[in-house]
Amino acid sequence: MSMTTEPLTPGTGGKRPAWKVLLPIALLVLAVVVGLAALKVMIPERPHTAQSKFTLKEGAIAPDFTLTRFQGADVKFSELEGKVFLLNFWATWCEACMVEMPSISKLRETYRDRGFEVLGVNLDENPDLAVSVVRERFGLQFPIFLDAESRLSDLFDVHGIPLTIVLNRQGRILMVETGERDWFGQDVQRKLEGWISE
């Protein structure tokens, strides 16, 4: 029985030349790059909207956003009467939210006739029960909204609650507070007096 072997390239010790190994890899990489470039041309870039550029920080202008009223119709922020607004994200399972709720309610009752309003955004899974219980417990009179699809939470980058944002009549962010606070404290009242008078 005879065996045939392919002749080896002299001086290579049986190894294939480097270019024969690298050429298929280079062609593969080139094909991937060309394919990705073609895909980018085919898929139009998503235009940057005001919301996609928005960063939550003091001084920023919040884009117009839609609020879904608890047991009521949707309303755009731009449609609300020009006031200083305290936007508060809360839930009944959040202990800190419940601790600060009376001070938010008291602040609202004290300044509501002077151009101030609270917008409560409830994040409970069962808001029908939660909102009713909290309204009765604290005697809340301010409007409460829902965020079932997390649109507001995404817009305002809510990672923890309570999160409270104070906005002026033009939607400019005056204050961002994460965590519990005494909202009826003298420091807040002094700031609010100034914001209302602007």
Model pLDDT, residue 35: 60
| Same domain as 35, residue 107 | no
Question: How far is residue 65's CA from residue 56's CA, in Å, rounded to a whole number?
Answer: 14
Of 1, 146, 154, residue with least CA distance to 75: 146
Length of the chain: 198
- Range(s) of the domain holding residue 29: 16-45
| Same domain as 56, residue 40 | no
| Same domain as 23, residue 91 | no
pTM of the model: 0.72
Task: Give strand pairing partners of 90.
Answer: 122
pLDDT tens-digit readout, 34-47: 665 554 444 334 34
- Using 50 as the pLDDT threshold, list the residues of the chain that sit under it: 1-2, 5-6, 8-9, 39-51
| Same domain as 147, residue 54 | yes
Number of compact structural domains in the chain: 2
pLDDT tens-digit readout, 55-99: 999 999 999 999 999 988 899 999 998 899 999 999 999 999 999
Whole-angstrom CA distances from 75 to 25, 40, 69, 80 are: 58, 38, 7, 8
Model pLDDT, residue 45: 40
Within a domain: residue 4? no
